[in-house]
Each structure stands twice: as structure tokens, then as C-alpha cells.
């Protein structure tokens, strides 16, 4: 029972901590992002759109070109398709997202890639050349600038989009307090009013909510396994309690004969089981912390190609501890009283 309870507590703790770690990482990404809404156009445009700046909900607008290219990784024998985003120099890219290298917006020859390509260029250092081939057949060599963390995009980046350059995406920063769904609707209506076809208008929170929904079955399954295992441990505790009362019938009969009450006997059983439960809780929580650290490192690399910082959901852990103690106390008290009172006559007969 002890091992089963440790496993249940450990799995549930790891599942809750994994959920907390992922959601905190995603929330930090949204908070540090320079823009709330991304607009993907159907056709390429050039020149600024004054009607976007005139919307009262919009704080900042930046235009992004996106082209299709191909590259060859040193660790692979074939070329891969990718996308290259070109930002204007005023694009607000938070330096906190730069995992490797230094962000230099004035360097038009510098190129960056998202963390998903880190394994494709394991030995690349800032300043090393990277070659991209474009759809028009031209090949261009860039200078590697660094690695950028981007949860929702897999590709390359560079700065150097001229003020009147062509673009296919628009990054929008809304004013504080703006409702995301209302902002998306207002921006979509603005493009519709000016007969501009839009493929997608999505806010960053919605995009990350979709990613969280994709990951939810993983940490949800771990938590469900932990809960089921703890339930099995509690059922096993009842079986052990029943056997303990049966095996100690003579001792309990003596205690009742000398004036011991049912409550005093139940109290002794409660202390005995709470000690073992406390040890299981400490062991299980430590096991859960270790398991969460391993899963965050592995899961982060598998999903977004960068480890997720392991965090601990202390309120949930405290809630589990209190709930487990409360359930156990109620089970011992109610079942112990029932079992002892039911057999009190036979306990006394065994002694006398």
C-alpha cells in the first residue's frame, strides 16, 4: 500500500506541476510578446494601412514579409522547405526570446532561426554562413545571428524590410484592457470594409490555448493515473485496516475490558496510518518533483524544441495533502467504529 500511495501521489504531483509549468511558460510567452494579434493576408501588399492606425483599440502596427525558401542542414542529406520572415527595423522583438546570439536589427545580412531548427545546426556559431534558396531560383547567403524562441512558428527571421516593402503578415499590438475577441472582430471588419482578403486573424492567447488543448491529454492522463492509483491505495488501506482489527482482536478486547473506548482504539489506528501516509506523502511529492523536472526537459524539447522551466504548483499539492488526510481520517473513524462496535461482544468473549 505504501508503494502504491507513493506512486499515486508522485504521478498526480508530476501531472499538476507539468500543467503549471507549461501554462506558466505559455503565459510568459504571451506576456513578453511584442504583439497580440497576427493577420495573415491572402495576397501580398505594400505600403502602410492608415485605417489600422486609426482604430482606437490599436497601439502599434508592424508589417512582416513572409517568403518560402529551402535550406540544407549539415546533419541531413536533403533540402527542406521553410519560411523566412522579414521584419522592419521597428518591429518589437523582445530580446528575452533570443536563446542564442545577439539581436541586431541593423544587420540586414544577419539571419535567425526558431529553436526548432537548433538540432539541424548543432555546431553553428554566430557569424557563420547560412544559405537559403528561394522560389525564383536565386540563392542568398546570410550570416547566422542567433536562435529565437517562438512557440507558434518554425522558420527563419531577418530584419531589413523597407518602409514601402511588400508584406503578407501584419503584427498588431492592442491597447491595454482590450478584449482579444472584440479586437479580432474589429480588425477583420476593417479589412473587409476595404476589400482586402484575409486568410487568418488570430490573437496570441487563442493560438496558445489551442496548443494547450493539444497538450492537455498528456498531463491530464498523468493526473488521472495518479488519482486512480491513490484511490487504489485508499481501498488497500481499508483492507489493511480490516486485517489489523481482526489480528488485534485480543488486544482490543483487553483495552475495552479495562475501560478503553471505541474512540481511543480508533485514535490509535488513526495515528498508525497517518504516520505511514505522511511518509508516503513526503516520498511521493519528492518523486513528483523529480519526475516533473525530467518530463519538462523531455517534453519541452519534443514539443517546442526547448526545455520548459519546471515549476511546482504548491496550492494544488497542499490541497491534495489536506484532502488525502481528511479522507483517510473519515474512513478510519467511520469504518473503525463500525468494525469495532460490530465485533465488541466477540472481542470480550475471546478475552474472558
Q: Can you spell out the DSSP letters for 140-162?
A: EEEEEEEEE--TT--SEEEE---
Q: What is the pLDDT of residue 351?
A: 46
To the nearest whole number, what is the mean pLDDT of the chain? 84
pLDDT at 341 over 80: no
Task: Please report whether residue 298 resides in a domain.
Answer: yes
Task: Please report whether residue 188 resides in a domain.
Answer: no
pLDDT at 158 over 90: yes
Q: What is the pLDDT of residue 343?
A: 62
Task: Please report whether residue 273 resides in a domain.
Answer: yes
- Backbone torsions φ then ψ of 75, nearest 5 degrees: -100, 0
Q: What is the pLDDT of residue 266?
A: 74
Confidence of residue 68 (pLDDT cuts 50, 70, 90): very high
Mean pLDDT, rounded, for 117-137:
90
Task: Please report whether residue 315 resides in a domain.
Answer: yes
Confidence of residue 99 (pLDDT cuts 50, 70, 90): confident
Share of the chain above pLDDT 90, in %: 24
What's the CA gap between 8 and 14, in Å, rounded?
10
Q: What are the start-end ranges of the E strands in the chain?
A: 37-46, 58-72, 79-87, 98-101, 110-114, 129-134, 139-148, 156-159, 166-174, 198-203
Do 312 and 215 share a structural domain?
yes
Mean pLDDT, rounded, for 295-299:
77
pLDDT at 261 over 90: no
Do 216 and 252 share a structural domain?
yes
Q: What is the pLDDT of residue 311?
A: 86
Do 230 and 134 share a structural domain?
no
Domain range for 143 is 37-177
Do 342 and 214 share a structural domain?
yes
The count of structural domains within the chain is: 2
Least confident of 209-223, 283-297, 318-332, 337-351: 337-351
pLDDT at 49 over 80: yes
The answer to whether 241 and 23 have CB atoms below 8 angstroms apart is no
Task: Please report whether residue 57 resides in a domain.
Answer: yes
Mean pLDDT, rounded, for 127-133:
93
Q: What is the pLDDT of residue 255?
A: 67
Do 345 and 217 share a structural domain?
yes
Do 246 and 161 share a structural domain?
no
Residue 9 CB-density burial (10 A; 0-12 exposed, 13-18 middle, 19+ buried): buried
Do 171 and 58 share a structural domain?
yes
Task: Please report whether residue 289 resides in a domain.
Answer: yes
Identify the domain boundary among 132, 157, 177. 177
Do 224 and 323 share a structural domain?
yes
Do 158 and 69 share a structural domain?
yes
Q: What is the pLDDT of residue 133?
A: 94
pLDDT at 4 over 70: yes
Task: Please report whether residue 192 resides in a domain.
Answer: no
Do 344 and 243 share a structural domain?
yes
Higher per-residue pLDDT: 284 or 298: 284
* 3-state class (DSSP) for residue 134: strand
Higher per-residue pLDDT: 263 or 254: 263
Do 260 and 280 share a structural domain?
yes
pLDDT at 113 over 60: yes
Identify the domain boundary among 118, 153, 177. 177
CA angle 69, 71, 72 (to 5 degrees): 165
Task: Please report whether residue 81 resides in a domain.
Answer: yes
Do 172 and 56 share a structural domain?
yes
What's the CA gap between 224 and 212, in Å, rounded?
17
Identify the domain boundary among 133, 161, 177. 177
User: Exposure pattern of 91-107 as b/e (b: 16+ CB <10 Å)?
Assistant: bebeeebbebbebeeee
Amino acid at each position: 500500500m505504501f508503494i502504491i500511495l507513493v506512486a499515486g501521489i508522485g504521478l498526480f504531483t508530476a501531472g499538476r506541476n507539468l500543467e503549471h509549468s507549461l501554462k506558466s511558460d505559455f503565459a510568459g510567452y504571451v506576456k513578453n510578446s511584442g504583439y497580440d494579434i497576427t493577420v495573415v493576408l491572402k495576397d501580398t501588399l505594400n505600403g502602410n494601412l492608415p485605417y489600422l492606425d486609426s482604430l482606437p483599440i490599436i497601439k502599434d502596427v508592424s508589417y512582416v514579409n513572409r517568403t518560402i525558401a529551402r535550406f540544407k542542414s549539415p546533419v541531413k542529406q536533403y533540402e527542406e522547405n521553410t519560411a523566412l520572415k522579414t521584419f522592419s527595423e521597428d518591429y518589437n522583438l523582445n530580446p528575452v526570446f533570443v536563446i542564442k546570439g545577439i539581436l541586431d536589427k541593423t544587420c540586414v545580412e544577419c539571419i535567425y532561426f526558431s529553436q526548432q531548427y537548433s538540432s539541424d545546426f548543432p555546431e553553428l556559431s554566430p557569424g557563420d554562413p547560412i544559405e537559403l534558396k528561394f522560389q525564383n531560383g536565386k540563392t542568398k547567403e546570410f550570416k547566422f545571428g542567433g536562435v529565437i524562441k517562438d512557440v507558434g512558428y518554425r522558420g527563419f527571421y531577418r530584419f531589413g524590410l523597407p518602409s514601402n516593402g511588400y508584406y503578407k503578415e501584419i503584427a498588431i499590438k492592442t491597447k491595454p484592457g482590450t478584449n482579444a475577441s472584440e479586437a479580432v472582430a474589429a480588425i477583420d471588419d476593417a479589412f473587409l470594409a476595404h476589400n482586402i482578403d484575409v486568410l487568418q486573424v488570430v490573437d496570441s492567447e487563442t493560438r496558445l490555448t489551442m496548443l494547450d488543448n493539444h497538450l492537455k491529454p498528456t498531463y491530464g492522463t498523468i493526473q488521472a493515473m495518479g488519482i486512480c492509483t491513490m484511490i487504489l491505495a485508499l481501498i488497500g488501506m481499508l483492507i489493511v485496516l480490516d486485517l489489523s482489527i481482526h489480528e488485534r482482536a485480543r488486544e482490543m478486547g483487553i483495552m475495552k475490558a479495562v475501560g478503553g473506548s471505541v474512540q481511543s482504539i480508533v485514535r490509535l489506528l488513526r495515528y498508525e496510518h497517518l504516520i505511514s501516509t505522511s511518509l508516503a506523502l513526503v516520498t511521493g511529492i519528492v518523486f513528483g518533483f523529480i519526475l516533473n523536472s525530467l518530463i519538462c526537459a523531455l517534453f519541452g524539447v519534443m514539443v517546442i524544441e526547448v526545455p520548459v522551466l519546471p515549476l511546482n504548483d504548491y496550492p494544488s499539492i497542499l490541497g491534495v495533502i489536506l484532502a488525502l488526510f481528511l479522507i483517510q481520517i473519515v474512513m478510519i473513524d467511520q469504518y473503525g467504529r463500525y468494525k469495532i462496535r460490530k465485533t465488541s461482544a466477540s472481542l470480550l468473549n475471546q478475552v474472558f
